[in-house]
Chains A and B, each alone.
Chain A
Amino acid sequence: NAGVTQTPKFRILKIGQSMTLQCTQDMNHNYMYWYRQDPGMGLKLIYYSVGAGITDKGEVPNGYNVSRSTTEDFPLRLELAAPSQTSVYFCASNQLAGLYNEQFFGPGTRLTVL
């Protein structure tokens, strides 16, 4: 199993450009998440999904959109990139079952907006 994979690993965008961060998991997990990590801060939840076709906003959703057409894929879309979106983005998944909630993380995407 590859686990959770993310592409690209690095990207530089100009202000106003758009891009999609890809995330795929092969563990058949229903729950998937996008977090961002800023220097000196804890990871913050951007969007999450509890299954194919179901998504919802997290703590910091402004400037982002997501979709979940399949169990495996959960892409994150930035429409009009801004310098405030410079961050490291992590996709994660789990199979929430009672108290069991181990999360599996992708390797991250380092995004710089200039």
Chain B
Amino acid sequence: KNEVEQSPQNLTAQEGEFITINCSYSVGISALHWLQQHPGGGIVSLFMLSSGKKKHGRLIATINIQEKHSSLHITASHPRDSAVYICAVSLYGGSQGNLIFGKGTKLSVKP
């Protein structure tokens, strides 16, 4: 079993829809990261959170530490949101600083 699981693997939405991507993890973490990877490959960090909720524009990330679960929401989705969204965690007490990654969720938003 992977330490970080995402669902769904693929998601197709119509422009304007509210989107939710889920992430569950099975290890102790110091932080959870949401990353975005556009076609062409570059990876950018969207959020890093260890508790509660963060919002940036139309993107909202939440985390429930007790349930070991995080969600990424996109409100009023737009075709430019089409990308792969990756959940990753920093291990609690990890001195290496590397991330453990989920497999990603491929989002396609149709106009």
**Residues of A bordering B, CB below 8 Å:** 31, 33, 35, 40-45, 48, 50, 56, 58, 88, 90, 94, 96, 99-105, 107-108, 110
Contact = CB atoms under 8 A, between A and B. Distances in A.
B86 A42 contact: yes
A50 B95 CA distance: 9
Contact of B42 (A43, A48, A101, A107): A107
Given A43-B101, A108-B41, 11 more contacts: A33-B98, A40-B103, A42-B2, A42-B4, A42-B88, A42-B101, A45-B98, A48-B97, A56-B96, A99-B50, A101-B31
A14 B4 CA distance: 34
Interface residues of B, number: 25
18 contacts: A31-B96, A42-B2, A42-B4, A42-B86, A42-B101, A42-B102, A43-B86, A43-B101, A45-B98, A48-B97, A99-B50, A101-B33, A101-B99, A103-B99, A105-B43, A107-B41, A107-B42, A108-B41
B45 interface: yes
B101 A94 contact: no
Nearest to B4: A42
B97 A88 contact: no
A103 B45 contact: yes
Interface of B: 2, 4, 30-31, 33, 41-45, 48, 50, 86, 88, 90, 95-104
B interface, by DSSP: helix, strand, loop or mixed? strand
A56 to B, nearest CB: 8
B45 A101 contact: no
Contacts of A56: 96
A103 B42 contact: no
Given A99-B50, A101-B48, A108 B97 contact: no
Nearest to A43: B101
A102 B103 contact: no
Contacts of B45: 102-105
Top 3 A-B pairs, shortest CB-CB distance:
A42-B101, A96-B97, A105-B43
